[in-house]
Protein backbone atom coordinates (compact mmCIF):
# COMPACT_ATOMS: atom_id res chain seq x y z
CA UNK A 1 0.00 0.00 0.00
CA UNK A 2 1.26 3.54 -0.80
CA UNK A 3 0.20 6.90 0.64
CA UNK A 4 1.96 10.27 0.32
CA UNK A 5 1.86 10.77 4.10
CA UNK A 6 1.55 8.32 7.00
CA UNK A 7 0.59 9.92 10.31
CA UNK A 8 1.30 7.81 13.39
CA UNK A 9 -0.96 8.61 16.35
CA UNK A 10 -4.53 9.89 16.27
CA UNK A 11 -4.43 12.30 19.23
CA UNK A 12 -4.90 16.08 18.80
CA UNK A 13 -1.64 16.43 16.85
CA UNK A 14 -2.02 13.50 14.46
CA UNK A 15 -5.73 13.93 13.76
CA UNK A 16 -5.19 17.65 13.03
CA UNK A 17 -2.26 17.02 10.67
CA UNK A 18 -4.24 14.33 8.81
CA UNK A 19 -7.31 16.54 8.46
CA UNK A 20 -5.37 19.50 7.05
CA UNK A 21 -3.45 17.35 4.56
CA UNK A 22 -6.59 15.53 3.42
CA UNK A 23 -8.44 18.86 3.06
CA UNK A 24 -5.71 19.88 0.60
CA UNK A 25 -6.20 16.73 -1.45
CA UNK A 26 -3.06 14.95 -0.23
CA UNK A 27 -3.52 11.23 0.35
CA UNK A 28 -2.92 10.44 4.00
CA UNK A 29 -3.17 7.38 6.23
CA UNK A 30 -3.72 7.85 9.97
CA UNK A 31 -2.56 4.99 12.22
CA UNK A 32 -4.05 4.82 15.73
CA UNK A 33 -3.50 1.87 18.04
CA UNK A 34 -6.41 2.42 20.44
CA UNK A 35 -9.28 4.52 19.07
CA UNK A 36 -11.28 4.47 22.31
CA UNK A 37 -8.27 5.40 24.50
CA UNK A 38 -8.84 7.99 27.23
CA UNK A 39 -5.65 10.03 27.52
CA UNK A 40 -4.99 11.12 31.13
CA UNK A 41 -5.47 14.88 30.75
CA UNK A 42 -7.13 17.90 32.37
CA UNK A 43 -8.72 18.59 28.97
CA UNK A 44 -8.40 22.40 29.30
CA UNK A 45 -8.17 24.26 25.98
CA UNK A 46 -8.44 28.05 25.41
CA UNK A 47 -11.73 28.81 23.63
CA UNK A 48 -9.90 30.71 20.85
CA UNK A 49 -8.40 27.40 19.66
CA UNK A 50 -11.80 26.18 18.45
CA UNK A 51 -12.39 29.06 16.06
CA UNK A 52 -8.75 29.30 15.02
CA UNK A 53 -8.58 25.60 14.12
CA UNK A 54 -12.16 25.30 12.94
CA UNK A 55 -13.16 22.65 15.48
CA UNK A 56 -16.88 22.29 16.28
CA UNK A 57 -17.80 21.76 19.90
CA UNK A 58 -21.49 20.93 19.59
CA UNK A 59 -21.13 17.15 19.31
CA UNK A 60 -18.97 16.53 22.40
CA UNK A 61 -19.33 16.95 26.16
CA UNK A 62 -17.65 20.12 27.35
CA UNK A 63 -17.93 22.94 29.83
CA UNK A 64 -16.78 26.52 29.96
CA UNK A 65 -14.68 27.89 32.82
CA UNK A 66 -14.42 31.63 33.34
CA UNK A 67 -12.29 31.85 36.47
CA UNK A 68 -8.87 30.79 37.79
CA UNK A 69 -8.20 30.16 41.46
CA UNK A 70 -4.53 30.30 42.41
CA UNK A 71 -3.09 29.23 45.76
CA UNK A 72 0.47 30.14 46.72
CA UNK A 73 2.63 27.79 48.83
CA UNK A 74 1.70 29.81 51.95
CA UNK A 75 -2.00 29.53 50.99
CA UNK A 76 -2.50 33.10 49.83
CA UNK A 77 -5.39 32.97 47.41
CA UNK A 78 -6.15 34.86 44.18
CA UNK A 79 -9.11 34.68 41.80
CA UNK A 80 -8.67 35.82 38.21
CA UNK A 81 -11.72 36.37 35.99
CA UNK A 82 -10.91 35.44 32.40
CA UNK A 83 -11.37 38.28 29.92
CA UNK A 84 -11.98 37.90 26.19
CA UNK A 85 -12.24 34.12 26.21
CA UNK A 86 -12.70 31.09 28.41
CA UNK A 87 -11.17 27.72 29.05
CA UNK A 88 -13.14 24.93 27.44
CA UNK A 89 -12.82 21.63 29.29
CA UNK A 90 -13.40 18.64 27.07
CA UNK A 91 -13.71 14.93 27.59
CA UNK A 92 -10.50 13.71 25.92
CA UNK A 93 -11.96 10.46 24.63
CA UNK A 94 -14.79 12.28 22.85
CA UNK A 95 -12.51 15.12 21.72
CA UNK A 96 -9.91 12.83 20.13
CA UNK A 97 -12.61 10.70 18.48
CA UNK A 98 -14.24 13.82 17.06
CA UNK A 99 -10.93 15.10 15.65
CA UNK A 100 -10.34 11.73 13.96
CA UNK A 101 -13.87 11.79 12.57
CA UNK A 102 -13.16 15.23 11.04
CA UNK A 103 -9.96 13.83 9.49
CA UNK A 104 -11.87 10.84 8.12
CA UNK A 105 -14.60 13.05 6.65
CA UNK A 106 -11.89 15.06 4.88
CA UNK A 107 -10.65 11.90 3.16
CA UNK A 108 -8.06 10.43 5.56
CA UNK A 109 -7.74 6.66 5.43
CA UNK A 110 -7.83 5.24 8.96
CA UNK A 111 -5.87 2.20 10.11
CA UNK A 112 -6.50 0.77 13.56
CA UNK A 113 -3.13 -0.71 14.41
CA UNK A 114 0.19 -0.25 16.20
CA UNK A 115 3.26 1.02 14.41
CA UNK A 116 6.14 -1.33 15.20
CA UNK A 117 8.73 -0.60 12.52
CA UNK A 118 10.02 2.29 10.39
CA UNK A 119 12.59 2.00 7.63
CA UNK A 120 13.81 5.09 5.82
CA UNK A 121 14.92 4.23 2.31
CA UNK A 122 16.31 6.66 -0.24
CA UNK A 123 12.96 7.68 -1.74
CA UNK A 124 10.37 6.24 0.58
CA UNK A 125 9.61 5.29 4.14
CA UNK A 126 8.22 1.88 5.01
CA UNK A 127 5.97 1.73 8.08
CA UNK A 128 5.21 -1.63 9.65
CA UNK A 129 1.87 -1.69 11.39
CA UNK A 130 0.39 -4.56 13.37
CA UNK A 131 -3.29 -4.87 12.44
CA UNK A 132 -5.26 -7.74 14.03
CA UNK A 133 -2.03 -9.63 14.69
CA UNK A 134 -0.76 -9.31 11.11
CA UNK A 135 1.94 -6.95 9.82
CA UNK A 136 0.76 -4.46 7.23
CA UNK A 137 3.39 -2.43 5.34
CA UNK A 138 2.63 1.07 4.11
CA UNK A 139 5.10 2.90 1.98
CA UNK A 140 5.05 6.72 1.96
CA UNK A 141 7.00 9.81 0.97
CA UNK A 142 6.60 11.40 4.41
CA UNK A 143 5.87 10.22 7.93
CA UNK A 144 4.48 12.41 10.72
CA UNK A 145 5.27 11.13 14.22
CA UNK A 146 2.35 12.21 16.40
CA UNK A 147 2.58 9.26 18.75
CA UNK A 148 2.86 11.13 22.02
CA UNK A 149 5.37 11.42 24.82
CA UNK A 150 6.43 7.74 24.63
CA UNK A 151 6.95 8.04 20.86
CA UNK A 152 7.68 4.70 19.18
CA UNK A 153 8.98 6.53 16.12
CA UNK A 154 11.62 8.28 18.22
CA UNK A 155 12.66 4.94 19.69
CA UNK A 156 12.76 3.19 16.32
CA UNK A 157 14.91 6.01 14.91
CA UNK A 158 17.33 5.79 17.88
CA UNK A 159 16.47 9.32 19.05
CA UNK A 160 16.57 10.15 22.77
CA UNK A 161 13.19 9.90 24.53
CA UNK A 162 11.26 13.06 25.39
CA UNK A 163 12.14 14.57 28.79
CA UNK A 164 9.14 14.75 31.05
CA UNK A 165 7.38 15.75 34.25
CA UNK A 166 5.57 12.85 35.86
CA UNK A 167 1.94 13.40 36.84
CA UNK A 168 -0.42 11.42 39.00
CA UNK A 169 -4.08 12.25 38.56
CA UNK A 170 -7.65 11.01 38.74
CA UNK A 171 -11.29 12.01 38.79
CA UNK A 172 -13.48 12.77 41.80
CA UNK A 173 -17.17 13.47 42.33
CA UNK A 174 -16.64 14.88 45.82
CA UNK A 175 -15.37 18.32 44.74
CA UNK A 176 -17.55 20.80 42.92
CA UNK A 177 -15.81 23.90 41.62
CA UNK A 178 -16.45 26.42 38.86
CA UNK A 179 -12.78 27.48 38.63
CA UNK A 180 -9.62 25.95 37.24
CA UNK A 181 -7.56 25.74 40.42
CA UNK A 182 -3.75 25.82 40.51
CA UNK A 183 -2.17 24.91 43.86
CA UNK A 184 1.52 25.66 44.23
CA UNK A 185 3.91 24.33 46.87
CA UNK A 186 6.99 22.11 47.02
CA UNK A 187 5.34 19.92 49.64
CA UNK A 188 3.03 18.33 47.04
CA UNK A 189 4.19 19.70 43.64
CA UNK A 190 7.90 20.60 43.54
CA UNK A 191 8.72 22.68 40.43
CA UNK A 192 5.20 22.06 39.15
CA UNK A 193 1.65 22.57 40.46
CA UNK A 194 -1.30 20.53 41.59
CA UNK A 195 -4.62 21.14 39.90
CA UNK A 196 -8.38 20.83 40.36
CA UNK A 197 -10.28 21.23 37.08
CA UNK A 198 -14.05 20.89 36.66
CA UNK A 199 -14.79 18.37 33.90
CA UNK A 200 -17.94 17.57 31.93
CA UNK A 201 -18.22 14.52 34.24
CA UNK A 202 -16.76 15.09 37.72
CA UNK A 203 -13.57 16.93 38.59
CA UNK A 204 -9.98 16.23 37.54
CA UNK A 205 -7.41 16.36 40.35
CA UNK A 206 -3.71 15.75 40.04
CA UNK A 207 -0.16 16.72 40.76
CA UNK A 208 3.17 16.70 38.94
CA UNK A 209 6.81 16.20 39.83
CA UNK A 210 10.23 15.63 38.29
CA UNK A 211 10.72 12.79 40.77
CA UNK A 212 8.95 9.83 39.23
CA UNK A 213 9.01 7.63 42.34
CA UNK A 214 7.35 10.19 44.63
CA UNK A 215 4.29 11.02 42.52
CA UNK A 216 1.73 8.93 44.49
CA UNK A 217 3.01 10.19 47.83
CA UNK A 218 2.84 13.82 46.60
CA UNK A 219 -0.70 13.25 45.36
CA UNK A 220 -1.71 12.01 48.84
CA UNK A 221 -0.16 15.11 50.37
CA UNK A 222 -2.15 17.28 47.97
CA UNK A 223 -5.40 15.53 48.92
CA UNK A 224 -4.62 16.42 52.53
CA UNK A 225 -4.10 20.10 51.63
CA UNK A 226 -7.10 20.55 49.28
CA UNK A 227 -10.18 19.76 51.33
CA UNK A 228 -12.91 17.61 49.83
CA UNK A 229 -10.94 15.23 47.59
CA UNK A 230 -12.41 11.81 48.38
CA UNK A 231 -12.34 8.42 46.62
CA UNK A 232 -10.47 9.41 43.47
CA UNK A 233 -11.20 7.11 40.53
CA UNK A 234 -9.24 6.33 37.34
CA UNK A 235 -5.96 7.16 39.12
CA UNK A 236 -3.09 7.05 36.70
CA UNK A 237 0.52 8.16 36.35
CA UNK A 238 1.49 9.75 33.05
CA UNK A 239 4.13 11.99 31.52
CA UNK A 240 3.98 15.59 30.27
CA UNK A 241 6.89 16.59 28.01
CA UNK A 242 9.46 19.14 29.02
CA UNK A 243 10.18 21.32 26.02
CA UNK A 244 13.71 21.22 24.60
CA UNK A 245 13.00 22.44 21.06
CA UNK A 246 15.59 20.10 19.59
CA UNK A 247 13.66 17.89 17.18
CA UNK A 248 11.45 18.98 14.27
CA UNK A 249 12.26 16.76 11.28
CA UNK A 250 14.83 14.13 10.49
CA UNK A 251 14.77 13.98 6.72
CA UNK A 252 11.21 13.20 5.66
CA UNK A 253 10.04 12.24 9.17
CA UNK A 254 8.39 15.14 11.05
CA UNK A 255 7.73 15.16 14.82
CA UNK A 256 4.70 17.00 16.21
CA UNK A 257 2.90 17.49 19.54
CA UNK A 258 4.16 15.53 22.55
CA UNK A 259 6.41 13.40 20.32
CA UNK A 260 8.37 16.60 19.66
CA UNK A 261 8.02 17.84 23.27
CA UNK A 262 5.91 20.82 22.15
CA UNK A 263 4.31 21.62 25.49
CA UNK A 264 4.46 25.20 26.77
CA UNK A 265 6.95 25.47 29.66
CA UNK A 266 5.49 26.62 33.00
CA UNK A 267 1.81 26.25 32.08
CA UNK A 268 2.31 22.75 30.58
CA UNK A 269 -0.41 23.43 28.06
CA UNK A 270 -0.05 20.78 25.38
CA UNK A 271 -3.27 20.28 23.40
CA UNK A 272 -3.27 23.64 21.60
CA UNK A 273 0.45 23.41 20.78
CA UNK A 274 0.07 19.80 19.59
CA UNK A 275 -2.58 20.95 17.12
CA UNK A 276 -0.60 24.04 16.10
CA UNK A 277 2.64 22.14 15.50
CA UNK A 278 0.59 19.73 13.39
CA UNK A 279 -0.79 22.57 11.26
CA UNK A 280 2.75 23.90 10.66
CA UNK A 281 4.10 20.45 9.76
CA UNK A 282 1.16 19.95 7.37
CA UNK A 283 1.81 23.38 5.82
CA UNK A 284 5.44 22.40 5.18
CA UNK A 285 4.40 19.13 3.53
CA UNK A 286 1.76 20.83 1.40
CA UNK A 287 4.68 22.87 0.00
CA UNK A 288 6.75 19.66 -0.28
CA UNK A 289 9.43 21.21 1.97
CA UNK A 290 9.80 19.23 5.22
CA UNK A 291 12.59 21.54 6.45
CA UNK A 292 10.15 24.48 6.36
CA UNK A 293 8.36 23.06 9.41
CA UNK A 294 11.21 24.00 11.78
CA UNK A 295 11.35 27.54 10.37
CA UNK A 296 7.60 28.05 10.66
CA UNK A 297 7.53 26.74 14.23
CA UNK A 298 10.47 28.85 15.31
CA UNK A 299 9.06 31.99 13.70
CA UNK A 300 5.73 31.53 15.44
CA UNK A 301 6.58 30.06 18.85
CA UNK A 302 10.28 29.97 19.67
CA UNK A 303 10.52 33.30 21.58
CA UNK A 304 7.38 32.51 23.58
CA UNK A 305 8.55 29.06 24.58
CA UNK A 306 12.01 30.30 25.46
CA UNK A 307 10.64 33.15 27.58
CA UNK A 308 8.23 30.88 29.45
CA UNK A 309 11.13 28.50 30.05
CA UNK A 310 13.06 31.38 31.61
CA UNK A 311 10.09 32.26 33.84
CA UNK A 312 9.79 28.62 34.89
CA UNK A 313 13.47 28.41 35.83
CA UNK A 314 13.33 31.71 37.70
CA UNK A 315 10.14 31.31 39.70
CA UNK A 316 8.82 27.75 39.72
CA UNK A 317 11.75 25.96 41.30
CA UNK A 318 11.28 27.32 44.84
CA UNK A 319 8.41 28.32 47.12
CA UNK A 320 10.00 31.78 47.57
CA UNK A 321 10.05 32.23 43.79
CA UNK A 322 6.37 31.29 43.51
CA UNK A 323 5.43 33.71 46.33
CA UNK A 324 7.23 36.47 44.36
CA UNK A 325 5.41 35.51 41.18
CA UNK A 326 2.12 35.56 43.07
CA UNK A 327 2.79 39.21 44.02
CA UNK A 328 3.66 40.06 40.41
CA UNK A 329 0.39 38.51 39.24
CA UNK A 330 -1.65 40.78 41.49
CA UNK A 331 -0.82 43.56 39.02
CA UNK A 332 -3.82 43.95 36.64
CA UNK A 333 -1.42 44.84 33.79
CA UNK A 334 0.37 41.50 34.19
CA UNK A 335 -2.98 39.69 34.28
CA UNK A 336 -4.16 41.43 31.10
CA UNK A 337 -0.88 40.76 29.26
CA UNK A 338 -1.03 37.06 30.27
CA UNK A 339 -4.65 36.82 29.17
CA UNK A 340 -3.69 38.29 25.79
CA UNK A 341 -0.92 35.77 25.20
CA UNK A 342 -2.17 32.64 26.90
CA UNK A 343 -5.96 32.81 26.60
CA UNK A 344 -6.52 34.88 23.48
CA UNK A 345 -3.38 33.55 21.73
CA UNK A 346 -2.41 36.99 20.52
CA UNK A 347 0.34 36.39 17.94
CA UNK A 348 1.49 40.00 17.58
CA UNK A 349 5.08 40.84 18.38
CA UNK A 350 3.85 43.84 20.41
CA UNK A 351 1.85 41.59 22.75
CA UNK A 352 4.85 39.41 23.42
CA UNK A 353 7.26 42.30 23.90
CA UNK A 354 4.98 44.08 26.37
CA UNK A 355 4.70 40.82 28.33
CA UNK A 356 8.48 40.39 28.39
CA UNK A 357 9.02 44.01 29.44
CA UNK A 358 6.61 43.61 32.38
CA UNK A 359 8.75 40.77 33.74
CA UNK A 360 12.21 41.99 32.77
CA UNK A 361 12.88 43.96 35.96
CA UNK A 362 12.05 40.93 38.12
CA UNK A 363 14.38 38.62 36.20
CA UNK A 364 17.69 40.36 36.83
C1 LIG B 1 -2.33 14.46 33.60
C2 LIG B 1 -2.21 15.38 32.41
C3 LIG B 1 -3.00 16.52 32.34
C4 LIG B 1 -2.91 17.36 31.22
N5 LIG B 1 -3.74 18.44 31.16
C6 LIG B 1 -3.71 19.23 30.07
C7 LIG B 1 -4.64 20.31 29.94
O8 LIG B 1 -5.54 20.52 30.78
N9 LIG B 1 -4.53 21.10 28.84
C10 LIG B 1 -3.57 20.89 27.88
O11 LIG B 1 -3.52 21.66 26.91
N12 LIG B 1 -2.71 19.86 27.97
C13 LIG B 1 -2.76 19.01 29.02
N14 LIG B 1 -1.92 17.95 29.09
C15 LIG B 1 -1.00 17.68 27.95
C16 LIG B 1 -1.78 17.03 26.77
O17 LIG B 1 -2.50 15.92 27.25
C18 LIG B 1 -0.82 16.60 25.66
O19 LIG B 1 0.12 17.64 25.41
C20 LIG B 1 -1.57 16.27 24.36
O21 LIG B 1 -2.40 15.16 24.54
C22 LIG B 1 -0.58 15.98 23.22
O23 LIG B 1 -1.27 15.53 22.08
P24 LIG B 1 -0.55 14.57 21.02
O25 LIG B 1 -1.54 14.33 19.94
O26 LIG B 1 0.79 15.08 20.70
O27 LIG B 1 -0.29 13.19 21.82
P28 LIG B 1 -1.34 12.19 22.50
O29 LIG B 1 -2.54 12.89 22.92
O30 LIG B 1 -0.56 11.44 23.53
O31 LIG B 1 -1.73 11.21 21.31
C32 LIG B 1 -0.83 10.24 20.83
C33 LIG B 1 -1.65 9.15 20.14
O34 LIG B 1 -0.74 8.24 19.51
C35 LIG B 1 -1.22 6.92 19.68
N36 LIG B 1 -0.05 6.04 19.57
C37 LIG B 1 1.04 5.99 20.39
N38 LIG B 1 1.91 5.07 19.95
C39 LIG B 1 1.39 4.53 18.83
C40 LIG B 1 1.84 3.51 17.91
N41 LIG B 1 3.01 2.87 18.09
N42 LIG B 1 1.05 3.19 16.87
C43 LIG B 1 -0.15 3.83 16.68
N44 LIG B 1 -0.64 4.78 17.53
C45 LIG B 1 0.13 5.14 18.58
C46 LIG B 1 -1.85 6.95 21.09
O47 LIG B 1 -2.79 5.90 21.25
C48 LIG B 1 -2.49 8.33 21.11
O49 LIG B 1 -3.83 8.32 20.64
C50 LIG B 1 -1.98 17.08 30.18
C51 LIG B 1 -1.19 15.93 30.25
C52 LIG B 1 -1.30 15.09 31.34
C53 LIG B 1 -0.45 13.83 31.39
Q: pLDDT tens for residues 213-237?
A: 899 999 999 999 999 999 999 999 9
Query: pLDDT value at position 350?
Result: 82
**One domain, residues 210 and 113:** no
How confident is the model over 116-144, as pLDDT tens digits? Answer: 999 998 889 999 999 999 999 999 999 99
Residues 257 and 116 in one domain: yes
Mean per-residue pLDDT for 324-341? 90
Residue 57 lies in a domain: no
- Cβ(209)–Cβ(191) under 8 Å? yes
pLDDT digits (tens, 9 = 90+) for 270-307: 999 999 999 999 999 999 999 999 999 999 999 999 99
- Ligand 1 atom 45 nearest Cα: 9
Question: What pLDDT is attached to residue 364?
Answer: 67
Residue 46 lies in a domain: no
Give the nearest ligand 1 atom to 260 CA.
26
- Same domain assignment for residues 141 and 281: yes
Give yes or no: residues 69 and 218 share one domain.
Answer: yes
Q: How confident is the model at residue 346 (pLDDT cuts 50, 70, 90)?
A: confident
Residue at which a domain ends, from 223, 241, 259: 241
Note whether 174 and 200 are same-domain residues.
yes
Q: Which range is least confidently modeled, 143-147, 159-163, 304-308, 342-346?
A: 342-346
At residue 358, the pLDDT reads 83
| Per-residue pLDDT, 353 | 84
Residue 48 falls inside a structural domain: no
Q: How much of the chain exceeds pLDDT 70, in percent?
A: 100
141 in the same domain as 274: yes
Predicted local confidence at residue 205, as pLDDT: 96
Is residue 15 in some structural domain? Answer: yes
- Count of beta carbons in the 10 Å neighbourhood of residue 313: 14
Q: State the pLDDT at residue 360.
A: 79
| Lowest mean pLDDT across 100-109, 271-280, 287-296, 310-319 | 310-319
Instruction: Count other C-beta atoms under 10 Å from residue 207's C-beta.
Output: 28
Q: What is the CATH number of the domain that holds 21?
A: 3.50.50.60
Phi first, then psi: give them for residue 228, nearest 5 degrees: 100, -10
Q: pLDDT value at position 337?
A: 87
- Residue 85's nearest CA partner among 340, 351, 294, 325 is 340
Domain count across the chain: 3
Mean pLDDT of 180-186: 96
Q: List all residues whose CB is within 6 A of at least one atom of ligand 1.
A: 8-14, 31-34, 37, 39-45, 114-115, 146-148, 152, 167, 169, 206, 238, 240, 257-259, 263, 269-272, 274
The model's pTM: 0.96
Residue 44 falls inside a structural domain:
no
Give the 3-state secondary structure of the chain.
Answer: CEEEEEEECCCHHHHHHHHHHHHCCCCEEEEECCCCCCCCCCCEEECHHHHHCCCCCCCCCEEEECEEEEECCCCCEEEEECCCCCEEEECHHHHHHHHHHHHHHCCCEEEECEEEEEEECCCCEEEEEEECCEEEEEEEEEEEECCCCCCHHHHHCCCCCCCEEEEEEEEECCCCCCCEEEEEECCCEEEEEEEEEECCCCEEEEEEECCHHHHHHHHHHHHHHCCCCCCCEEEEEEEEECCCCCCCEECCEEECHHHHCCCCCCCCCCHHHHHHHHHHHHHHHHCCCCCHHHHHHHHHHHHHHHHHHHHHHHHHCCHHHHHHHHHHHCCHHHHHHHHHHHHCCCCCHHHHHHHHHHHHHHHC
pLDDT, tens digit, 9 for 90 and up, residues 17-36: 999 999 999 999 999 999 99
Classify residue 220: in a domain, yes or no.
Answer: yes
| Of the residues 300, 321, 338, the one at which a domain ends | 300
pLDDT number for residue 308: 93
Rounded to the nearest angstrom, the gap between the alpha carbon of residue 89 and the centroid of all alpha carbons in its chain is 13
pLDDT at 204 over 70: yes
Q: Quick one: 191 and 283 in the same domain? A: no
* Mutation pick for ligand 1 pocket among 271, 272, 282 (CB with most ligand atoms within 8 Å): 271
Residue 287 lies in a domain: yes
Summarised one tens digit per residue, pLDDT across range 29-82 is 999 999 999 999 999 999 999 999 999 998 899 999 999 999 999 999 999 999
Same domain, 116 and 154: yes
Domain of 324, in residue numbers: 303-363
Amino acid sequence: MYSTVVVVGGGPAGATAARILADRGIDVVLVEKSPSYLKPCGGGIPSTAFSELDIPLSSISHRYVQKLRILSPSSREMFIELQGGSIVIVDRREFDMMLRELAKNSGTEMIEGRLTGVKQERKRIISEIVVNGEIKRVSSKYLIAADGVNSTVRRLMNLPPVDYVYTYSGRVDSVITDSCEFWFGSEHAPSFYSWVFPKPNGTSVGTGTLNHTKAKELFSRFTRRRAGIQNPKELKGYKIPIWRGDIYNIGRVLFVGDAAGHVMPFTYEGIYYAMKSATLAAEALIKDKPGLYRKLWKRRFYTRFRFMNTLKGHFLDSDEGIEKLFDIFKNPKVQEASMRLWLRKDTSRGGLLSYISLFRKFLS
